[in-house]
């Protein structure tokens, strides 16, 4: 196993590594690590640590459009069903087939 003194920076291969990132465990030069909350961390790990967490939102973003479409379909079906019931209750004589067309108009 080689010692830390012989390692090179993960980003800059020509530079000697002076520190190891405590998150990803890679070796970096002085320019590539930053003191973050009392520990040395590379720029990629800092970006990952400060990225917004969207775990719960991912499921909601996938489910919401399908649920909204299903709810819209149910509401439309209920409205058309109720409109049909109102039309049937409003004038039942127009829908009876016992009379001939001439008797209906008299």
pLDDT-based confidence at residue 1 (cuts at 50, 70, 90): very low
Give the model confidence (pLDDT) of 30-77 as tens digits. 888 888 888 888 888 888 888 776 555 667 778 888 899 999 999 999
Task: Sketch the domain layout of the chain as residue ranges.
Answer: 4-49, 55-91
**pLDDT at position 87:** 84
Give the model confidence (pLDDT) of 8-17 as tens digits. 888 888 888 8
Average model confidence (pLDDT) across the chain: 80
In sequence order, what DSSP letters do the residues of the chain get, joined into one string?
A: ---GGG-B-SS-TTSBP-EE-TTT--EE-TTTEEEETTEEEEHHHHHHHTSPP-HHHHHHHHHHHHHHHHHHHHHHHHHHHHHHHHHHHH-GGGG--SS-HHHHH-
């Amino acid at each position: 196993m080689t010692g830390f003194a012989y390692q090179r920076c993960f980003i800059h291969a020509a530079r000697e590594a002076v520190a190891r990132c405590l998150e990803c465990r890679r070796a970096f030069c002085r320019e590539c690590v930053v003191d973050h909350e009392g520990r040395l961390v590379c720029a990629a790990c800092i970006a990952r640590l400060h990225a917004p967490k969207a775990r719960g939102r991912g499921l909601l973003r996938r489910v919401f459009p399908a649920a909204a479409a299903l709810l819209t379909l149910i509401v439309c079906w209920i409205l058309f069903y109720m409109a049909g019931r109102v039309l049937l209750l409003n004038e039942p004589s127009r829908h009876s087939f016992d009379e001939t067309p001439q008797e209906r108009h008299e």
